Amino acid sequence: MALNLNNSNVATRENRIGSITGYIGSLSDLAKQSECGTLKGCSRCFSQSSTCLSSCALGQLSAIRDVAIIHHGPAGCSVASAGTYYLDKVMAKKRGVTNNTVYVGTDMNENDTIFGSTESLRKIILEVNKRYSPKAIFVTSSCATGIIGEDIDSIVDEVKEEISVPIVAVHCEGFSRRKRIPSGRKKKI
């Protein structure tokens, strides 16, 4: 599968790998549809039974050594990186490599969710770059940033001119108030 680096949005897991999270029907129908490749999940717009998208993104990004991952969200969302951080250190040691990946949470509060916090995100990105000198910076989103429509893409685009390492916005919010249009495509009105 080719990587599209011009689009920071990731398709849902079910669409990306052709899986389902729910099925309505008999077990024999499920088996038949699975065998012939026609299995379709029941249509639903909300599910609490699958893994947090931010946690999945943090886990995937953690495999990249010597980068900074800035999770833009409340402290409770950023806590997912604690387990990933520990696992990365253990696995790196077992493989005999050093991984200096840095995890930083922006610790959004109630005020940030009402008025936005893009300016503080901008300052955090610049400080992380200055303090840790990572080889690349990933700015991940959270449900809170998705719900309020925080524009992390614009901040990332702005700071690209100010830092010398690659920086990428990674949209991994489970909830979002707006539908994003991949860059390069125009919205039909």
Which of the residue ranges 120-124, 126-130, 134-138, 173-177 would you say has the lowest mean pLDDT?
A: 173-177
Q: Residue 183: which pLDDT band, with cuts at 50, 70 and 90?
A: very low
Radius of gyration of the chain measured on its C-alpha atoms: 19
Dump pLDDT digits (tens) for 125-168: 999 999 999 999 999 998 889 888 899 999 999 999 999 999 99
Which of the residue ranges 32-36, 56-60, 111-115, 128-132 would you say has the lowest mean pLDDT?
A: 32-36
pTM: 0.69
- Phi first, then psi: give them for residue 68, nearest 5 degrees: -115, 135
**Mean pLDDT, to the nearest integer, of 38-51?**
60
Closest CA to 8 of 126, 183, 162: 183
- Write down all domains in the chain, each with its CATH number in brackets: 19-49 (no CATH), 51-170 (3.40.50.1980)
Closest CA to 125 of 182, 93, 86, 163: 163
**DSSP designation for 9:** B
Mean pLDDT of the chain: 80
